[in-house]
Structure 1
Amino acid sequence: MHRPLSFQQIAQLRAHLKRGGVVAYPTESCYGLGALPDNVRGLRTLLRLKKRPQHKGMIVIGANWSQLQPHLCRLPCDDVAALQAIWPAPKTVLLPAKPTVLPNLRGRGRNKLAVRIPAHDIARGLCQQVQAALVSTSCNRAKQRPCRNEREVRRQFGRQVYVVGGRVGRRRQPSEIVDWASQQRIR
């Protein structure tokens, strides 16, 4: 079982994220890399570390609906209730993004944002502890295998990221991605 972060660690991590830092943390299938979704510097750092093209979108995770809601257009109450009934789960959903959401978060030319409330306790707890939604993309450089433990994270990224330790979940595949409006499976 993973110990929650201490008050001091939470304060350090929050300051790190606000300065545009990147965090690595365990998720359902691998370690994830995260930054604050509205922090341009953090997103640029994350993309540079991963060597990931800017035109691809990224997933935003939250501990609860209220952390995701500020990034999304208003949804009908029935849709919100249906989403809350399926989460937490390794299911990512594309929803209409507010125009203020950064383009490299949505993906260039797209108006939807991929969001999820993760089933992994540490990933969800991290959002709760830092009191913010986080970007969630696999922890690896482009064209490399995603990291599955702390040692692999440190080997690929050294001290460039703040690492939250813990075990990844048992899933071998990344989360399913579904367009909520059409129910079309994307991944």
Structure 2
Amino acid sequence: MIESSALEEAVAALRAGGVIAYPTEAVWGLGCDPDDEAALARLLRLKARDPAKGVILVAASIEQAAPWLEGVSEAQRATLAASWPGPTTFLVPDNGRAHALVRGDHDRVALRVSDHPLVVALCEAFGGPLVSTSANRAGEPPAMSADEVRRVFGEELDAVLEGELGGLLRPSTIRDLATGRVLRS
């Protein structure tokens, strides 16, 4: 059960340009508004992540991801619909919608539609996709609990949305939509 006041606090933090932590399918994640340049830059600084790498966007539904999917063929949409919601992140061609810090040095955007109830509720309450990147400093293992998140980031986050991990043993598979090639299994 998701505590509505905690969800409201996390959404308010996101809308105010904050960076939050929340549980995902396999590890704890950091998130922010993917259209807020200052929030994106802050999230990357917190992680000490190379901006060239880009980040994943997570959505509650294919409809939420639709602005990033304009230009994707019907066959490719069918591939997405057959896999989502679920633990597969697809690299889709950038149609100009993604911020440069989301994309990194790539011509594709990493998108996932989650089936994790808390992630879905968070994206629905926020009204769109969020950045979803593992809650850790670059080169360190991802946090597996809210306590670990707090140990790593202390007071640097604007909200920590309590909840359970989704039970997967590893982060989502990353697959190139155009080629089908698996980049992370």
Between 143-152 and 9-18, report the one with greater CA deviation: 9-18
Residue 35 of structure 2 aligns with which residue?
38
**TM-score, with length taken from structure 2:** 0.92
> Tell me, what secondary structure is at the counterpart of 1:158?
helix
Residue 183 of structure 2 aligns with which residue?
186
Pick one of 154, 164, 176 that aligns with 2:173: 176
Residue 23 of structure 2 aligns with which residue?
26
AA aligned to 1:184 is R
- In structure 1, C-alpha distance between the alignment counterparts of 2:67 and 2:7, rounded to whole Å: 22
- In structure 2, C-alpha distance between the alignment counterparts of 1:96 and 1:153, rounded to whole Å: 32
Pick one of 66, 70, 74 that aligns with 1:73: 70
Q: Measure how far apart 1:10 and its partner are.
A: 4.2
> Tell me, what secondary structure is at the counterpart of 2:156?
coil
Give percent identity, aligned residues only.
38
Between 70-79 and 21-30, report the one with greater CA deviation: 70-79
Matched ranges for 1:15-164 at <5 A = 15-108=12-105, 110-161=106-157, 162-164=159-161
- In structure 1, C-alpha distance between the alignment counterparts of 2:104 and 2:122, rounded to whole Å: 25
Render the CA deviation track for 1:21-62: whole Å, top value 9, x for unaligned.
011111111101011111101101100110111110110000
Render the CA deviation track for 1:131-186: whole Å, top value 9, x for unaligned.
12001000011111111111101111122221111111222221110101111111
- In structure 2, C-alpha distance between the alignment counterparts of 1:72 and 1:46, rounded to whole Å: 24
Q: Measure how far apart 1:11 and its partner are.
A: 4.1
- In structure 1, C-alpha distance between the alignment counterparts of 2:91 and 2:150, rounded to whole Å: 31
Gap regions ≥5 residues in structure 2: none
Q: CA RMSD in A?
A: 1.5
**TM-score, with length taken from structure 1:** 0.91
| Contact 2:6–2:161 (CA under 8 A) maintained in structure 1 | no
AA aligned to 1:153 is V
| Contact 1:87–1:117 (CA under 8 A) maintained in structure 2 | yes
Structure 1: 4+ residue segments shifted above 6 A: none
Flag the structure with higher helix content: 2
Render the CA deviation track for 1:103-135: whole Å, top value 9, x for unaligned.
121121x21101001232211221112212001
Q: Measure how far apart 1:9 and its partner are.
A: 4.1
Gap regions ≥5 residues in structure 1: none
